[in-house]
Structure 1
Amino acid sequence: MPSPRLLIGPLLRRVVDTRATVWVETSGPAVVTVRTADGATGSAPTFTAYDHHYAIVVVEGLTPDSATSYQVLIDEELAWPEPGADFPPSVIRTRAADDRDQPVRLLFGSCRETTQHSTSRKLPPDALDAYARRMIAAPDQADRPDLLVLLGDQVYADETSPTMRKLLKRRRRRPKDAPATQVVSYDEYTKLYLESWRDPEIRWLLSTVPSVMIFDDHEVIDDWNTSKSWRADMREQPWWAERIRSGLASYWVYQHLGNLSPDEIATDPVYAKVVAAEDATSVLEEFGQRVDTEADVAHDTERWRAVQYQWSYSLDLGRTRLVMLDNRSSRVLEPGARAMLPPGEWSWFLDRAHGVYDHLVVGASLPWLLPPGIHHVESWNEKLADSGRPWVARLAEQLRRAWDLEHWASFRRSFDALGELFVRLGSGRPGEPGARVGAGPAYAPPASISMLGGDVHHSYVARARFADPAVRTPVHQLTCSPIHNQVPAAMRPLMTLGWNPGPASAARALARSAGVRRPSVRWKKLAGPYFGNAVSTLTHTGRTAEVLIEGTASDGRLREVARRRLTPDG
């Protein structure tokens, strides 16, 4: 039997003080060891699920404020770097022990179809691939990112590549039992990640830049959890139970596990069960089914409750706090009481939003601030969907699904609550209702609040304006999408018109006619919309903040699309 080898990875996920986590998938059971050039090391045996083998290795003993190359060994045989690889060494970089004065750079974006799609759809060049090639050409650049933040649709379970469709065609003996061109089983999900993360430049980038991720709908299916009736309709499909179970289990393995810090991994109840099992297939099957069922507690009861497993998470880098929110799996979908997060998770978010930091970054797959014209249409639709007249509610539900009206604007309870939170934080009054217990009488307002988003297949920067004159912190929506995809040409004028005052006023009048109150926040576009493939960098230096949007040119290189200073003294 041949020795195990690396199938995917290494993925450098979290670097925390003098520790780092490295995720891998191997071709067989083994002990995986990571060794750095300066002597730091870590080992872990693989765990097995669905006949696949994984390990997440915690590397201990890194030197603060250093950059050191590393190797990955499988059963003490060198597996990374691969022989003959024409790439710079993969490196783990640590921050200073006291990193309060160090700049923080977050590279972010969403919606990346694999390069395989370019062969059939002629997509523009992949922006993340272009970024990786630029880093490969200058691996010691001083302004390399501290963290890659991927905001959803890392894989597309429902829009597969030509290669995947060929594989699925061979497997679909009874087409009625499963969609002919969409993945359903866990093993099929593994092929999506293999196809996406084995791209050589992307593989190198993920091995040397720490990354965190959150899912959006396409990791499961387009418009996942749009509404209560949508969930009921999907459960009538014979293949849905396996699809949602496999989608959530594979997301936990390939994406979420690496989001956790070493201490969080050690206390995660699912990880404990997985590594204790000789074969964790049944553990993950039960987990995927249970998590989706737990979401029904929030969807189908009059009284909101918290789900047991939480996908949202947070971390600190220097004086920057990043809070990543799950916009999909645990939505409250009860008409009249819709919310992006169930109450328990919202309370957790409020707690994490308060603290001692200079910059707050809230990451979510869906933008909080859309083009105003689109925002008002979504709020209008939600109001009609709550109508007591069945035919009106039914028609509104049909429009909600057909037009993808399921962003924050169509969850107005959460949209308004988020704005109220930003007002309290930005005015130095977080001790008002909703602040965490024991927070103290007041905080100094943060220097900036940035809401990261993706999904909408165009990129822009918008500035929020609040009626409260006490708000001193600038609040911005930073949307970067897609990394590698494209919006249909017919949709671009509509999205552009959404920012135009005329159409926006007409949409606002439509919403007002249905009884929708005016939003408590107004916003203005500062840059964009840009419809090409792009990645963005948010940089914090002291109490200043700046965002850079870079798009791909026809030659596959990145070019500056927009650069905006987000703080007055920036």
Structure 2
Amino acid sequence: MASLVLGPLLRHIGPTDATVWVETDAPCKVEVLGHGAKTFHVEGHHYGLVVVDGLEPGRTYEYGVSLDGAPAWPEEGSSFPPSVLRPTGDDHALRLLFGSCRLSLPHEPPYTLSPDEDERGRGLDALRAVALRMTREPNDEWPRAIFFIGDQVYADEVSPKTLEFIRARRDTSVPPGEEIADFEEYTRLYWESWQDPVIRWLLSTVSSSMLFDDHDVHDDWNISDDWVARMRQKPWWDERIVGAFMSYWLYQHLGNLSPAELAQEEILERVRAADDGGPLLREFAFVADREVKGRRWSFYRDFGRTRLVAIDCRAGRVLEEGKRLMIDDEEWEWLRETATGDFDHLLLAMGDPYLLAPGIHDVQAWNEAVCGGAWGAPAATLGEKIREALDLDHWASFPRAFRRLTELVTEVGQGKRGRPPASIVALSGDVHNAYLAQVGFRRGTGVQSNVYQAVCSPIRNPLDAKERRAQRFATTPLATVIGRVLRISAGVPPPEIRWRFVREPSFDNQIATLELDGRSALLRVERAVERGDSGPELELVFDYTLA
């Protein structure tokens, strides 16, 4: 008899439909609220994706999961509240969580200590703190959705249990050593990330969306053409990148799609029809890495009067020097058509922040120009080394893409693409701190929307004291002056907009909440803290009214 390995995960949720994802240990039929789907097979793993339709907007549905008619969820004796589906309604209210950078480690010392107290320490899990709080709250106070904006798994920093699994199956004295090598090891990463009972329950009842960032594959993934060329020369790289894309498609991407989009996902139809979809997915994954054009990982979701556009700014990069873009021209046209007005709020989710501290922005713009030859060939070589050493690959390092996005945000805020939203908010992670920046436009621009960059990272992977000091320095007036001087020296013009931090960076394990109600918006950031023996709790870092 089949059993659940992972899940259920509540993924897409719309006004009348939802998708529920599971992994099972054998082929079976998965049923949710009278709707069923047969599992499909990929290299010894079995996956089910059930489309539940005919739902009533705004109603709450308690649900369970059956495998071949036998109840499999909730687990017998579960103490957690019932899992629920809550289709989006017309009440115009949304509570959305977001964050990035979550390592899966034991919830006990030394792993719950800070990295300064013990090199193995990564602090308390902010996502676990959310889940534990939810078990004590009525379900009308629960978040409706959560967005994981990258680095949900770390292929280059694995847990002790995953390391045991790796050592049992191959020789770690040869590359890639104690990092993830292939698809099978990726499946272990996801299992460890989602198997904790309280996290599993949270994911069964809060609709989740996901994007990957570099550590889902490898630190600095797709930072430059030079980096990619070097990695592709390594004998173990192809197996790593193929496993990364295969697992991302299965565990993260499929659930981002609406039922209508799933019906158009050709590779899903082919995998479902195959005895083993592994060979098909391997070919698909290899091509997805080598050919950016024609494969879009970006997506959007509507929550009533709020539109969330998720922009893949890692896998879809154009890396040729002189032509570098975060996303190619085809995907840019999709973004222009999708990121519009006529919503109360427009959320632009992207792993890499659109707006950094102004000094860091200028340093990245300077470095991009130097790598492109502004100071000559020898300096370009040095510039590449600096780029990789300091992770200088955010939007400022892709100036054409930055200008395009700024122009798009300006047009939406001006009302040129429908009624201006009350707020336009870029949601990001990656940088291991949380902050809020507000954008100012030139006088006479006519932007009516309030525009912000909201960053929240990490969920669980804090910086040590030395790294925090470096990041704090980057926000100082002196760092701003240094960045400006470097930018000017490379002949780079200033950005078309200005912005300022209205909430300074915080460096804890933390998670952010957006409270949207009509045309009002509030951002709240909370950190994980220990109070007693009941597990981590959440403590307010800051809140701010956006609109």
Structure 1 and Structure 2 fold alike (TM over 0.5) = yes
1:62 aligns with 55
2:408 aligns with 421
Q: Give the Å deviation of 1:563.
A: 0.6
What amino acid sits opposite 1:135 in the alignment? M
Q: Secondary structure at the match of 1:540?
A: strand
1:563 aligns with 543
| Contact kept? 2:343, 2:420, Cα under 8 Å | no
Structure 1: unaligned runs, 5 residues or longer: 36-40, 296-306, 431-442
Q: Residues of 2 paired with 1:330 and 1:64: CA distance?
A: 35
Deviations 1:292-320 (A, max 9, x none): 1113xxxxxxxxxxx11110001111111
Structure 2: unaligned runs, 5 residues or longer: 112-119
Q: Give the Å deviation of 1:514.
A: 1.1
Residues 137-536 of structure 1: pairs in structure 2 closer than 5 A = 137-140=136-139, 142-173=140-171, 175-176=173-174, 178-295=175-292, 307-387=293-373, 389-430=376-417, 443-469=418-444, 470-536=446-512
Q: Give the Å deviation of 1:8.
A: 0.2
Q: Give the Å deviation of 1:366.
A: 0.7
359-368 or 143-152, which moves further after superposition? 143-152
Q: Secondary structure at the match of 1:248?
A: helix
1:131 aligns with 130
| Contact kept? 1:551, 1:561, Cα under 8 Å | yes
2:114 aligns with none
1:105 aligns with 95
| Contact kept? 2:341, 2:419, Cα under 8 Å | no
Q: Residues of 2 paired with 1:558 and 1:490: CA distance?
A: 25
| Contact kept? 2:343, 2:419, Cα under 8 Å | no
| Contact kept? 2:341, 2:412, Cα under 8 Å | no
Q: Secondary structure at the match of 2:313?
A: coil
| Contact kept? 1:328, 1:340, Cα under 8 Å | yes
Q: Residues of 1 paired with 2:268 and 2:286: CA distance?
A: 16
Q: Residues of 2 paired with 1:5 and 1:106: CA distance?
A: 31
Q: Residues of 2 paired with 1:139 and 1:153: CA distance?
A: 30
Percent identity between the two aligned chains: 45
Q: Give the Å deviation of 1:335.
A: 0.8
Deviations 1:28-61 (A, max 9, x none): 11111112xxxxx210000000110001001123
Q: Secondary structure at the match of 2:226?
A: helix
386-395 or 166-175, which moves further after superposition? 166-175
| Contact kept? 2:93, 2:518, Cα under 8 Å | yes
Deviations 1:196-244 (A, max 9, x none): 1001111000000011100001111111001001110000100101111
2:12 aligns with 14
| Contact kept? 1:110, 1:150, Cα under 8 Å | yes
Q: Residues of 2 paired with 1:261 and 1:80: CA distance?
A: 23
What amino acid sits opposite 1:562 in the alignment? F
Q: Residues of 1 paired with 2:172 and 2:203: CA distance?
A: 38
Q: Residues of 2 paired with 1:263 and 1:191: CA distance?
A: 30
Residues 542-557 of structure 1: pairs in structure 2 closer than 5 A = 542-555=518-531, 556-557=536-537
Deviations 1:68-116 (A, max 9, x none): 21110111111000111111111111233xx1x4212211101110133
What amino acid sits opposite 1:146 in the alignment? R
TM-score, with structure 1 as normaliser:
0.91
Q: Residues of 1 paired with 2:133 and 2:95: CA distance?
A: 16
What amino acid sits opposite 2:463 in the alignment? V
Q: Residues of 2 paired with 1:158 and 1:361: CA distance?
A: 30
What amino acid sits opposite 1:171 in the alignment? R
Q: Residues of 1 paired with 2:280 and 2:106: CA distance?
A: 33
Deviations 1:498-518 (A, max 9, x none): 222232122111111111111
> Over the residues paired in the alignment, what is the CA RMSD in angstroms?
1.3
Q: Residues of 2 paired with 1:63 and 1:334: CA distance?
A: 49
Q: Secondary structure at the match of 2:348?
A: strand
TM-score, with structure 2 as normaliser:
0.95
2:22 aligns with 24
Is 1:73 the counterpart of 2:59? The answer is no
| Contact kept? 1:117, 1:161, Cα under 8 Å | no
45-54 or 388-397, which moves further after superposition? 388-397
Q: Secondary structure at the match of 1:557?
A: strand
347-356 or 452-461, which moves further after superposition? 347-356
1:298 aligns with none
Q: Residues of 1 paired with 2:443 and 2:273: CA distance?
A: 53
Deviations 1:303-345 (A, max 9, x none): xxxx111100011111111000001111011111211000000
462-471 or 117-126, which moves further after superposition? 117-126
Q: Residues of 1 paired with 2:4 and 2:212: CA distance?
A: 25
What amino acid sits opposite 2:126 in the alignment? A
Q: Give the Å deviation of 1:356.
A: 2.1
1:539 aligns with 515
Q: Secondary structure at the match of 1:519?
A: coil
Number of residue pairs aligned between Structure 1 and Structure 2? 532
What amino acid sits opposite 2:99 in the alignment? G
| Contact kept? 1:371, 1:495, Cα under 8 Å | no
Q: Secondary structure at the match of 2:288?
A: helix
Q: Secondary structure at the match of 1:203?
A: helix
Q: Give the Å deviation of 1:143.
A: 3.1
Q: Residues of 2 paired with 1:172 and 1:187: CA distance?
A: 12
Q: Secondary structure at the match of 1:66?
A: coil
What amino acid sits opposite 1:219 in the alignment? D
| Contact kept? 2:14, 2:302, Cα under 8 Å | no
What amino acid sits opposite 1:169 in the alignment? R
Q: Give the Å deviation of 1:174.
A: 6.9
1:301 aligns with none
Give 2:40's match in structure 1, choosing from 22, 38, 47: 47
Q: Residues of 2 paired with 1:473 and 1:117: CA distance?
A: 42
Q: Residues of 2 paired with 1:560 and 1:499: CA distance?
A: 22
Runs of at least 4 residues of structure 1 off by over 4 A? 117-120
